[in-house]
Amino acid sequence: MGTDGVEQDKLLRSIRYKDGSLQLLDQRKLPLETTYVDIRDSKDGWAAISEMVVRGAPAIAITASLSLAVEISNLRTFNGTPSDAALFISNKLDYLVSSRPTAVNLSDAATKLKELVQKVAANASEAQAVFQACIEAAEIMLEDDVASNKAIGHFGARFLQKQQTDRRKISVLTHCNTGSLATAGYGTALGVIRSLHETGVLERAYCTETRPFNQGSRLTAFELVHDNIPATLIADSAAAALMKAGRVDAVIVGADRVAANGDTANKIGTYSLALSALHHGIPFYVAAPLTSIDSSISSGEEIVIEERSAKELLRTHGGMGEQVAASGISVWNPAFDVTPATVISAIVTEKGVITREGTDSFDIRGFIEKVAASSSY
């Protein structure tokens, strides 16, 4: 992968794609350096995802799809049938999905692309038609994600305002990074915060540092400062004290995978925030697109949790700096934890807000069916 330094983009885009060319903002180097990485094929895409050049469930899925689109756009020759082309794409997608296992958006995007190319291959006379269908579908994913995020922001901001009965401004705590850097643009949980700010009802956003990779201090803080949103960075361990001090009205986080009952896998430390919010009587919200929902699994018990390298704890700068821990110490470094549906107040999607309505779990399948039925008219 090659690099190309550029000045800070006013729109703060983590993904730059045009005419078979893909560049990713190297998030490992933020906030000190703004450098873009050239992605030429699925191998580059796999490495960028695995090494956290790009992160955030929506952005990972889009990166995988576009890295494959770039590769097939630049294929000089392909001596095969439409079925061979579909198999080529399917194998590349399986490889890309292996880069990070927890985020369902990646496997969901791969499944949809596989189904599409197989359908096209059944009726195509040449392989190029299959490749073109894959490219166009990946490009649509990029466009749709921004629109989806803005809808999440709108629904979430409106819902939070309705819950705030005294009409004062709202202060919100968030965890990890769920903004433009984690998506194609605008963001999920951070999109709700952006929408609250745009409508003039945000008092202050609080972001955790999000150890050990520091996505909060490096990325979320970077976005909040970039957009001139009133914000304060806190240590992960300060969240409970902040809540006890009465400085938080709501907690809102993103999601890498949501089970059918509403159990949610998100960045490690999310579960602790949810329990603290419950203790202090503060609503805890999840903001995620429907592509983050895995209705094939009934609960969070079935979610595979990725474990990251011990270096992220043993060394500074997410494992890339000097050693700070004692040599010989063993390390447990799960990238995510699962927050049970029972402690989640609501789930904000691009199609509306899902609530538990007095039950211990969310009827997510019912919500999706209702959305599908309404869109069919």
Q: Which of 277, 264, 289, 256 is nearest to 341 (CA)?
A: 264
Spell out the residues 6+ positions from residue 366 whose beta carbon is closer than 8 angstroms to its own. Answer: none
Cα 367 versus chain centre, distance = 21
Task: Please tell me what DSSP assigns to residue 334.
Answer: B
d(CA 125, CA 191): 44
CB of 254 within 8 A of CB of 315?
A: no
Q: Which of 236, 249, 256, 294 is catalytic?
A: 256
Backbone angles phi, psi at 316, to 5 degrees: -75, 170
Range list of β-strands (E), the chain: 3-5, 15-18, 21-25, 35-39, 170-174, 202-208, 231-234, 250-253, 257-259, 264-267, 284-287, 293-294, 336-339, 346-349, 352-355
Q: Closest Cα partner for 183 from 138, 141, 233, 217? A: 141
Retrieve residue 164's tokens. 């705030």
| Residue 256 is a catalytic residue | yes
* C-alpha–C-alpha distance, residues 368 and 377, integer Å: 15
Active site residues: 256
